[in-house]
Amino acid sequence: MTLIELGWNPEHAKAFAPYEKRGWVPARLIRDNKITYGALLEDGDEYEVIMGGKVYHDASCDAELPAVGDWVALEIGTGDLDTVIRARLPRQTCFSRKAPGKTSEEQVIAANVDLVCIVTDAGTDFNLRRMERYFTLIARSGARAIVLVNKSDLHSDEQNREAAEAIRAISPDAKVLITSAREGQNVKAIREFLTPGVSITFVGSSGVGKSSLINALLGDEWQEEGEVNEVTGKGRHTTTARELMVLPEGGILIDNPGIREVQMWTDETTLREKFSDIEALAQQCKFHDCKHGTDAGCAIREAVQSGDLSPERFEGYLKLDEEIDHLKKRLKKRKMTIERRNKRDHRIKARNLADRIDYEREQKPKPGAFPYDED
């Protein structure tokens, strides 16, 4: 396996040059085992590696720590020594979301991916508002979006087509395909994206068929995974960790556990771009600070009433805005806490330094005093 087949390109090579001189080797992270990582090297060798202290301390937040898909510089351990990640190369794309729960941390789902493939179905998983959130996150990541309306064998042609059309309508740039991992429908069409060196990550709710599609792409025989666990209602092969795989004929796949919460990790600019139609309407509101609720002369409300704008899309817009607002507040709070903590740390350091200087002064002979005073 060559580095290029693993997704390496001239920009990576340039970033790596200073590390090469130190005898370190490039590798791509394929698995996150929490304490260790799985890394794939040029010849296809897989190593279990640990993070170097500097990499850990240089990261200002979790999102800056190495993640699956990252390129790193490894110092290969000989004898009993561990193989250590000495540096993480800059990311060319980064697909991330807000970490689950009440935190305001960013969680990296996959680094350096060219394509993010959202898997859904035309049945119970289908949710356009969730799609919008995915599209916003993908727009920010730098990767391109593909949507697979999977399990087509379980729904009517019409239902599948309607679902695909509705998704195309909210994101005209995204490629939308109707697939069945079970019947192999359109698996070839997915494969066409996977030229050597192209990385694609699969995201979507648990049970939509991400791993089944990956198996179909890997060319494994279709396995009957139909037995559903009665307690969790999930198939038996629920994915529990991110993992990167290289297809024999080229292309790099990253499987992910099902995503329950698609929380925003984004900024205002991306949001405004995604909803540029609504933003344009807002310009026409009578009052520049229109809340688009009950204010008179609201162009957005008029558009909803005349049917030019779907109320769901408008609601999606309002909700996203609200969420970003919360995120900002949380970030600000976190920043304040960190600043407070830093200030406190500085104060302690300053105090220690001051103590030391005082102490040294006391040790120093007083001016004019004879240095070797006899007892």
Cβ 224 to ligand GTP, closest distance in Å? 7
Q: Which stretch binds Zn ion (CB under 5 A): 99-107, 142-150, 252-260, 293-301?
A: 293-301
Is residue 212 at the binding interface for Mg ion, with CB under 5 A as the rule? Answer: no
How many CB atoms within 10 Å of residue 87? 20
Q: Which is nearer to ligand GTP, 70 or 255 (CB)?
A: 255
Instruction: Give the closest residue to 84 by CA, choosing from 41, 38, 52.
Output: 52
DSSP string over 167-190: HHHH-TTSEEEE-BTTTTBTHHHH
Tell me the one-letter amino acid at 2.
T
- Regarding 278 and contact with Zn ion (CB under 5 A), the answer is no
The yes or no reply on residue 235 touching Mg ion (CB under 5 A) is no
Return the one option of Zn ion, ligand GTP, Mg ion, none that residue 264 interacts with (CB less than 5 to 8 A, by type).
Answer: none
Dihedral in degrees, nearest 10, Cα atoms 13, 14, 15, 16: 50
CB of 115 to Mg ion, least distance (A): 18
Q: What does DSSP say about strands 106-111 and 94-98: parallel, antiparallel, or unpaired?
A: antiparallel
Q: Under DSSP, is residue 43 helix (H, G, I), strand (E, B) or coil?
A: coil
Which partner in Mg ion, ligand GTP, Zn ion, none is near 154 (CB below 5 to 8 A by kind)? Answer: ligand GTP
Nearer to ligand GTP, 196 or 257 (CB): 257
CB closer to Zn ion out of 60 and 294: 294
- Closest to ligand GTP by CB, 119 or 324: 119
Nearest CA among 90, 67, 129 for reference residue 317: 129
Interface with Mg ion by CB under 5 A: which range of 134-142, 158-166, 237-245, 337-345?
237-245
Name the minimum Å distance from CB 118 to Mg ion: 14
Backbone phi and psi for residue 257, each to the nearest 5 degrees, phi listed first: -65, 160
Quick one: what does residue 212 bind among Zn ion, Mg ion, ligand GTP, none, with the CB cut-off 5 to 8 Å set by partner type?
Answer: ligand GTP
- Return the range that interacts with Mg ion (CB under 5 A); candidates 87-95, 141-149, 177-185, 211-219: 211-219
- Nearest-approach distance from CB 51 to ligand GTP, in angstroms: 26
Judged by CB under 5 A, does residue 120 bind Mg ion?
no
| C-alpha to C-alpha distances, 151 to 122, 317, 327, nearest whole angstrom | 8, 29, 35
Phi, psi (degrees; rounded to nearest 5) at 365: -65, 145
Q: Is 292 in the site for Zn ion (CB under 5 A)?
A: yes
Helix (H, G, I), strand (E, B) or coil at 96: strand
Binding mask 168-207 for Mg ion (x = CB under 5 A): ----------------------------------------
The DSSP bridge partners found for residue 245 are: 253
Using rule CB under 5 A, residue 239 touches Mg ion: yes
Helices (H) and strands (E) in the chain, counts: 10, 13
Q: How many CB atoms lie within 10 A of CB 77?
A: 13
- Residue (212 or 266) nearer to ligand GTP, CB: 212
Q: How far apart are CA 301 and CA 285, in angstroms?
A: 9
Q: Which residues bind Zn ion (CB under 5 A)?
A: 285, 290, 292, 298, 300
